[in-house]
Every structure is written in structure tokens, then in C-alpha cells.
Amino acid sequence: MSRIGRLPIDIPSGVTISVDGQAVAVKGPKGELSLVVASPIEVKLEDNQVLVSRPDDERASRSLHGLTRTLIANQIVGVTEGYSKGLEVVGTGYRVTAKGSSVEFALGYSHSITVDPPAGITFEVEGNNKLTVRGIDKQAVGEVAANIRKLRKPEPYKGKGVRYAGEVVRRKAGKSGK
């Protein structure tokens, strides 16, 4: 039995969950999220808890069991607290500025790069070099942060680029003279 999958998920106050066949909808104070559960996995509501079960011990069922439980738990956390991912812009002349709801990056290219937030995502700019991506969907927040980091990955010689908050960039030694 999956150690993660067999754990019940407590439903906090202010959150309503509806299960309709394979569709699970989670509604909370910050918004609403939905998930379609893969076919062998079953989701039930009992005593203010969500229970995830699997019918057999086949490999596909075992792999989906813990995953489904974690996805539903992430949705509950998302609609109650939300998720955020911090980014830092490091480098001389590199900066980020807010332009309405979108953000504009100066990353050493000949042009500035404007990033518009997708639905459900908001940006917060602190100073010239800190950006926070916020939203209720953990997967969307991580994907937007990864796409922004991809604009200029941190390079190993000077450490310039866009990095996650707290990320440690392994530095390399430069050329050695004769």
C-alpha cells in the first residue's frame, strides 16, 4: 500500500470538495480548482476527509495512487493559502520592472522582454531585482517561474541571470593565465 496514498486528507473549514465520478472540484476562499482522476483510482468523501483508494496492486495503479492524493492535497492548500515562487535577477544592468499586471525584464539583450501573467497568476516586484510569482495552482506557478528563469539562466562564471530565491549557482574558475 502506498504510504502517501493511504493517508486521508483533512478538509479545512471554508473548503468544499465535490466528487462526481472521476472529476474532483475543490472550492475555497482563494478560488476554485478541478482535477480529473485517472481511471483505476477512486476518490471518496467520508467524515470531512478525502480518501483515495486503488482497486488492485498493478504497477500503474500503484504509481497513480500517491500522485492522485498529493494532487488533491496540493489543490486544497492552493485554495486556502496559495503558492508563491521567488525569483532573483542577478547581474550588472539586469533588472525587472512592473508594467501594469505584466513585468518587463532587462537581461543584457538588445531589447527588453515583457512577460504577461497567465490566468490565475500574479506578479509582485520588490526593488529592481526581486520577483514573486503567486497563484493557487502549484503546477502553474512553478511553470511560469521556470519559463521566466529560462529567459536567462544563471551562468556558472559570473553567476549572472535569473535564479530562484535561495538557489545556489555552482561557480567555475575562469581562464588561467600562462
| Burial grade of 116 (CB within 10 A; 0-12, 13-18, 19 or more) | exposed
Give the mean pLDDT of 54-71. Answer: 92
Domain count, the chain: 2
Tell me: do 92 and 72 sit in the same domain.
no
Give the residue from 120, 26, 119, 29 showing the smallest Cα distance to 74. Answer: 26
Q: 46 and 88: one domain?
A: no
C-alpha cell at position 2: 502506498
- What is residue 174's predicted lDDT score, i.e. its pLDDT? 87
Q: Which structural domain, as residue segments, surrounds residue 68?
A: 9-81
Whether 29 has a pLDDT exceeding 90, the answer reads: yes
Whether residue 113 is predicted with pLDDT greater than 70 in this model: the reply is yes
- Residue 121 phi/psi, 5° resolution? -120, 140
Does residue 89 sit in the same domain as residue 159?
yes
Domain end (from 81, 104, 136): 81
Instruction: Tell me, yes or no, whether 95 and 131 share the same domain.
Output: yes
pLDDT tens digits along 72-100: 999 999 999 999 999 999 999 999 999 99
**Quick one: which of 45, 39, 43 has its CA closest to 61?**
39
**176 falls in which pLDDT band (50, 70, 90)?**
confident
Q: Are residues 133 and 70 in the same domain?
A: no
Q: What rounded mean pLDDT belongs to the chain?
A: 94
What pLDDT shows up at residue 3?
86
Do residues 58 and 39 share a domain? yes
Quote the pLDDT of residue 1: 57
Long-range contacts of 156-163 (CB under 8 A, 24+ apart): 158/91, 159/90, 159/91, 160/90, 160/91, 160/92, 160/94, 160/108, 161/89, 161/90, 161/91, 161/94, 161/107, 162/87, 162/88, 162/89, 162/90, 162/105, 162/107, 163/87, 163/88, 163/90
